[in-house]
Structure formats: structure tokens, C-alpha cells
Amino acid sequence: MTQLDAAGALPENAARFAYPTSAMIGDYLRAAAGLTPTLFILATVSVGDVATAVLAGFTAIFGAFAIRTGLRHGTSIEMDDAALRASGLQRTVILWADLDRMKLAYYSTRRDRKSGWMQLQLGAGRARLSLDSRLDGFEQLARRAAHAAAERGLELSDATAANLQALGVRVPAR
């Protein structure tokens, strides 16, 4: 882990990122919108076995989504010249010198592709990390990952290269 100085600050070449609450509110609301009615129905209405199984399934799905949202919101990302570290319930370290996978995908929420989000997937050996564009500093992380991928000579997919260019990251010619 990167050593903090006497004042508890990160070294000059390190940065810390997190998912802001404002970016996560929508996911929390979606989880609540699914959990509340299914739990209410299960707790107050006598339904048959099939309906109970279906409602329990929806409850499990929305509950898992709520847990995943909470875990993501509680994750802190630290980046320096040597590595990318995620800390929270699960800790992950990806050394830039060991980076062997990089994918940057764009998921559109409209047919005109004017609205959506990006997801950056990185891997080094067994370590893997997935970050989405709601993360503060996402562009900076994607830029550093692209630099590390170029240094390692990784072959990036056409979609990843196009998405990097959409972020303003210059991709070396292949």
C-alpha cells in the first residue's frame, strides 16, 4: 500500500477517487423501488407458492443490487505510478507493470447513443477491477490505464480504442 506522509496525505504522485453519493442515489432508489413493494407484498399478503417464489426471486435480485451498490459506494480507489488499489470490503491491487487486460466499454441508454456510461475493466493475473464512469476521476484513471497498456504492448480492441478516443485519450497506432 502507498505510504502516507506524517500529515496522513498521499504522496504527490498518488491520487484517491471514490463514487460520489450524488452519482449513487439513482441506484439506491432503484434498489428501494424494487425491494419495498416485493417485501411489502410478501409480509402482508397471503399469496400462493408460485407467487411467493417469484416475489422472493425479485427480492433477492433487488437485495443483491442494493448490496452491490453499497459496496461500490464504499470502495475507495487509490492510484499512483506503480499501481491501482481498490479498498473497501474487498481489496484489489493491480500493478501497472503486470497489467494484462484492459477493456473500456460504452453502454448507451438511448438509441441516439447521446446518453450512457462507460465501464473500465482492468486485470493483472488473477486480480481484476471494474470501474464505471460515475467514479470521480474516471477519465484520469482511463488515461493512466491506457498508458500502462501501451507500455505493456497490450492489444486493445477497436471498441476500447474508440472509447478511449471519445474520452480524449490518444491511443498509439497499432
pLDDT tier, 113 (very low <50, low <70, confident <90, very high otherwise): low
- Nearest residue to 71 (alpha-carbon basis) of 102, 93, 92: 92
92 within 8 A of 98, measured Cβ to Cβ: no
Using alpha carbons, list the distances in angstroms from residue 77 to 29, 72, 97: 24, 10, 18
- pLDDT of 11 reads 53
Q: Is pLDDT at 14 greater than 90 in this prediction?
A: no
Contact 81, 103 (CB under 8 A): no
**Residue 2 — pLDDT band, cuts 50, 70, 90?**
very low
Using an 8 Å Cβ cutoff, are 83 and 93 in contact?
yes
Listed by start position, the domains of the chain span 17-73, 80-166
CA distances from 151 to 76, 159, 174 (A): 26, 19, 13
More confident residue, 112 or 2: 112
Q: What is the pLDDT of residue 5?
A: 41
Q: Is the pLDDT of residue 36 over 70?
A: yes
Render the burial of 115-132: b for 16+ CB within 10 Å, e for the rest. eeebebebbbeebebebe
Stretch 156-165: mean pLDDT: 93
- Residue 49 in this model has a pLDDT that exceeds 70: yes
Cell triple for residue 120? 473500465
Residue 147: Cβ within 10 Å count: 15
Q: Give the percent of the chain with pLDDT over 70.
A: 89
Name residues whose C-beta falls within 8 Å of residue 102's C-beta, 6 or more positions apart in sequence. 120, 121, 122, 123, 145, 146, 148, 149, 154, 156, 160
Residues 59 and 31 sit within 8 Å (Cβ to Cβ): no
Predicted local confidence at residue 127, as pLDDT: 93
Per-residue pLDDT for 123 more than 90? yes
Task: Tell me the per-residue pLDDT of 144-156, one tens digit each, with 9 for 90 and over.
Answer: 999 999 999 999 9
Surface-to-core class of residue 63, CB atoms within 10 Å of its CB (0-12 exposed, 13-18 middle, 19+ buried): middle
Angle at CA of residue 18, ends 17 and 24, nearest 5°: 150
Model confidence, pTM: 0.74
- Give the pLDDT score at 10: 45
